[in-house]
């Protein structure tokens, strides 16, 4: 069996994927809280980032149209946010809700976070509990989700041992410590993406990391700083996977973020047999970037270990679809967090793989996929989940195009222009 059946297209050319979602959210929040004016280049213009911009606007920050080449924001300072008139709508964005919860817990007014049906179901106690330990009052819904009302006030410091490896939880605590100017220490069960730490340091805040422990030392001003947002490695993964499964050619992905807390999927694609080369290394304001050049290979199955999961958590739907075209049985464990993403991504991935005739099964904390090169056809139910839509869009492109996606438009949550780019590189 080969990884790339006769139906797979060739790939060619060089593309640039849109800006990093995690960094775009943080760039807006930190620019809003800083003293002085910050410029953001390459911001992601997606629905999730627009949710963060809208929430900050509702709190009195002037945020210009994100379509501008350079988004310039005049910071209001750590004490400068003002209570909004209405509830703060985070849309589909977990990062907006959880990071803003940290900021609002230390802001001296009451606010309520709301979101769409998917976000309203997602767990908020993971941020409410540590922020309560710091002295704020947070009232999530009876189910532990949104709406969540936050009574912000002067907070005390905390040393928090997080049960979940979550950059959003870590960031909520660090941002609460930043706004309240109190010491916080977070111990994570496994290292998660460290953009908040890097960006705070670049703005003059004393943040120390030792192993999986991160501490913020109060007493420094939050300086304004410019951000050059790297291409999102999570978005790049869709095209790296496409190139890995192509029938030939080479695809270059320009200016991709290569922060080691984010690149697990690239390691997995290489391990499965694709050729990935990094070149043109550069630094984008404290974040490493490179050109990633990918060409196909004969793909074989792999085991994705629990310790790898935080570095590729958002990429698992795509990797599951690659496993559907790789020889042998791919197994993922230690990924129970997938069940509380924009959809239950374990069930969504497995049911959709089965719907297009792939042999797959659920595990409580992961899944098993047995690859084949037979034609795949059927209808995908995305549950409004952008990463499910895009992962199966790529699988459709390499397996003959007979996979229909019920809601392709939900890709705008993280990747505006995804479908046009997919058509462009497989033309």
Q: How far apart are CA 389 and CA 393, in angstroms?
A: 6
State the nearest-atom distance from the C-beta of 245 to ligand S3P, in Å: 23
Pairing outcome for strands 206-210 and 184-187: unpaired
Q: Which two tokens stand for residue 78?
A: 């750590």
Helix (H) or strand (E) holding 318: helix 316-323
Q: Is the separation of the CB atoms in 229 and 69 below 8 Å?
A: no
State the nearest-atom distance from the C-beta of 259 to ligand S3P, in Å: 12
Binding site for ligand S3P (CB under 6 A): 22, 95, 166-168, 171, 193, 313-314, 337
State the nearest-atom distance from the C-beta of 248 to ligand S3P, in Å: 32
Q: Is the separation of the CB atoms in 269 and 251 below 8 Å?
A: no
Query: Which one, of 1, 4, 5, lies nearest residue 275 by Cα?
Result: 4
State the nearest-atom distance from the C-beta of 10 to ligand S3P, in Å: 31
Give the contacts of 30 (CB within 8 A, at least 6 positions apart): 38, 199, 200, 203, 222, 225
Q: Using alpha carbons, list the distances in angstroms from residue 275 to 17, 229, 235, 293.
A: 19, 26, 18, 8
Out of 20, 181, 228, 314, which one is annotated catalytic?
314
Q: How far apart are CA 364 and CA 163, in angstroms?
A: 18
CB nearer to ligand S3P: pick between 27 and 369: 27
Q: How far apart are CA 103 and CA 174, in angstroms?
A: 9
The DSSP symbol for 327 reads B
CB nearer to ligand S3P: pick between 168 and 343: 168
| Order of strands, sheet of 158-161, starting from the edge strand that comes earlier in the sequence | 158-161, 184-187, 213-217, 206-210
**Residue 314 annotated in active site:** yes
CB nearer to ligand S3P: pick between 48 and 185: 48
Other Cβ atoms closer than 10 A to 246: 25
State the nearest-atom distance from the C-beta of 145 to ligand S3P, in Å: 13
Look at the alpha carbons of 211, 212, 213, 216 in this order and tell me if their dihedral is positive or negative: positive
Q: Using alpha carbons, list the distances in angstroms from residue 107 to 110, 126, 192, 339.
A: 8, 19, 26, 31
State the nearest-atom distance from the C-beta of 263 to ligand S3P, in Å: 14
Query: What is the b/e burial string over 128-154, where b = at least 16 CB atoms within 10 angstroms of the residue's CB?
Result: bebbeebbbebebeeeebbebbbebbe
CB nearer to ligand S3P: pick between 166 and 396: 166
State the nearest-atom distance from the C-beta of 195 to ligand S3P, in Å: 7
Q: How far apart are CA 229 and CA 286, in angstroms?
A: 10
Q: How far out from the chain centre does Cα 115 lie? A: 17
State the nearest-atom distance from the C-beta of 427 to ligand S3P, in Å: 30
Just list the catalytic residues: 314
């Amino acid at each position: 069996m080969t990884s790339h059946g006769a139906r797979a297209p060739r790939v060619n050319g060089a593309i640039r994927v849109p800006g990093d979602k995690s960094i775009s959210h943080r760039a807006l929040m930190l620019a809003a809280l800083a003293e002085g004016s910050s410029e953001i280049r390459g911001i992601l213009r997606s629905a999730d980032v627009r949710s963060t911009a809208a929430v900050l606007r509702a709190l009195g920050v002037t945020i210009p149209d994100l379509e501008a080449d350079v988004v310039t924001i005049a910071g209001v300072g750590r004490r400068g946010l003002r209570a909004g008139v209405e509830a703060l709508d985070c849309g589909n964005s977990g990062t907006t809700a959880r990071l803003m919860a940290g900021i609002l817990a230390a802001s001296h007014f009451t606010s309520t976070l709301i979101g769409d049906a998917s976000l309203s179901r997602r767990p908020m106690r993971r941020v409410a509990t540590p922020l309560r330990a710091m002295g704020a009052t947070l009232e999530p819904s009876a189910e532990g989700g949104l709406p969540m009302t936050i009574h912000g006030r002067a907070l005390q410091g905390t040393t928090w041992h997080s049960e979940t490896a979550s950059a959003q939880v870590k960031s909520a605590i660090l941002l609460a410590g930043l706004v309240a100017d109190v010491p916080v220490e977070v111990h994570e069960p496994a290292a998660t993406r460290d953009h908040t730490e890097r960006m705070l340091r670049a703005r003059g805040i004393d943040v120390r990391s030792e192993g999986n422990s991160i501490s913020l030392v109060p007493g420094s001003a939050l300086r304004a700083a410019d951000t050059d947002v790297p291409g999102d490695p999570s978005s790049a993964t869709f095209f790296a996977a496409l190139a890995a499964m192509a029938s030939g050619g080479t695809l270059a992905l320009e200016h991709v973020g290569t922060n080691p807390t984010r690149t697990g999927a690239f390691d997995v694609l290489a391990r499965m047999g694709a050729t990935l080369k990094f070149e043109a290394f550069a630094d984008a304001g404290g974040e490493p970037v490179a050109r990633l050049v990918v060409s196909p290979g004969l793909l074989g199955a792999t085991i994705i270990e629990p310790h790898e999961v935080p570095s590729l958590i958002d990429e698992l739907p795509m990797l599951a679809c690659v496993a559907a075209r790789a020889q042998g049985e791919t197994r993922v464990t230690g990924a129970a967090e997938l069940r509380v993403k924009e959809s239950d991504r374990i069930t969504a991935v497995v049911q959709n793989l089965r719907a297009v005739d792939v042999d797959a099964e659920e595990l409580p904390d992961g899944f098993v996929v047995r690859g084949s090169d037979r034609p795949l056809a059927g209808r995908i139910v995305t549950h409004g989940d952008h990463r499910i839509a895009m992962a199966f869009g790529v699988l459709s492109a390499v397996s003959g195009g007979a996979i229909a996606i019920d809601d392709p438009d939900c890709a705008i949550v993280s990747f505006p222009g995804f479908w046009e780019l997919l058509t462009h590189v497989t033309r």
